[in-house]
Structure 1
Amino acid sequence: MNPHVSSSTLTCFLVEDNAVIRENLVATLEEMVDLRVLGHAIDENGALDWMTQESRPCDLLIIDIFLNQGTGLNVLQAASTRMPSAHRVILSNYATPDMRQRCLALGAHRVFDKSAELEDLLAYCHSLAERQDPDAAAPHADRS
């Protein structure tokens, strides 16, 4: 993670408990998108603490649903209140239709399946990095 961030660089905070997935995701995002991951949390409490203590907002939160401790759903709900300007994205292996609807209802802008929609996540991040609003083009009911 590069400590120097241009004002135009997209900033991200990641909530993911699997170290291999987290490390690969950070490397991929930072290599392929004008994006810097500011930090990560591996559980609900770590994510909530970061949101409470961090004075500098980030542009994007990427949240896994199932964590070793707590749940990404609680993180998502808190982020909707504490960081309303951040784009909130769920990245999970459990992106069922019911879970997608639940996440959208709790404030997610998008829900991506880890096993099948990483390219879609990258495209979403590219749009954000280019300061386009990828959510404006997708009606709420059609967001995946």
Structure 2
Amino acid sequence: MALTVFLVEDNPRIRESLIPALADLGSASVMATAESENEAIAWLGKHKGQWDLAVVDFFLKQGTGLGVVAWCAGREPSQRVVVLTNYPAPSTRSACLDAGADAVFDKSTELEAFFDYCLQAAPD
């Protein structure tokens, strides 16, 4: 079964490269995207239980990924939230995990680990 992904990323170039990269996994498809905290939360509120994995950037066009991650606290047990960031400082990682992220990945150096995580998160 395919992994349904909600992508929260404000950089169009990164979005445009992540969407096909996730599709190339063969088990993931991006069902929607958002560029800001408010836009992401609005979408999540309308689509509760309809996604498997939320991939959230830390810095957004408006707001931060922390607000999105915290909003997801009431998600279904099978739903996962990961932060994919260019700012993987220990304090950022800690804040994301404390807010409820399941994992944090560095866009520059941990993409392979991120894609492995996505493969493991696919529903059976």
What TM-score, normalized by structure 2, do the two folds share?
A: 0.93
Specify the alignment match of 1:47 in structure 2: 40
Q: Structure 1 residue aligned with 2:57, among 50, 60, 64?
A: 64
Matches within 5 A, 1:49-128: 49-81=42-74, 83-85=75-77, 86-128=79-121
Specify the alignment match of 1:3 in structure 2: none
If asked which structure has higher relative contact order (CA below 8 Å, sep 6+), I would say 2
Equivalent-residue separation in structure 1 for 2:48 and 2:59 (angstroms): 26
Specify the alignment match of 2:4 in structure 1: 11
Give the AA of the match of 1:65. Answer: F
Could you list the runs of 5+ residues in structure 1 that have no partner in the other structure?
1-7, 132-144
What TM-score, normalized by structure 1, do the two folds share?
A: 0.81
Give the AA of the match of 2:44. Answer: M
Give the AA of the match of 1:35. Answer: A
Give the AA of the match of 1:79. Answer: C
Runs of 4+ in 1 over 3 A off after TM superposition: none
Provide the identity percentage.
41
Give the AA of the match of 1:43. Answer: S
Q: How many residue pairs are counted as aligned between the two chains?
A: 123
Higher Cα Rg: structure 1 or 2? 1
Q: Structure 2 residue aligned with 1:31, among 24, 27, 38?
A: 24
Q: For 1:25, what is the secondary structure of its paired residue?
A: helix
Displacement of 1:55: 4.7
Cα deviations by residue, 1:87-112 (Å, 9 ceiling, x for unpaired): 01000001111111111111000000
- Aligned Cα root-mean-square deviation (Å): 1.3
Give the AA of the match of 2:102. Answer: H
Equivalent-residue separation in structure 2 for 1:13 and 1:54 (angstroms): 10
CA contact (8 A) 1:33 1:122 kept: no
Cα deviations by residue, 1:34-69 (Å, 9 ceiling, x for unpaired): 111110001011101101112552110000010011
Could you list the runs of 5+ residues in structure 2 that have no partner in the other structure?
none
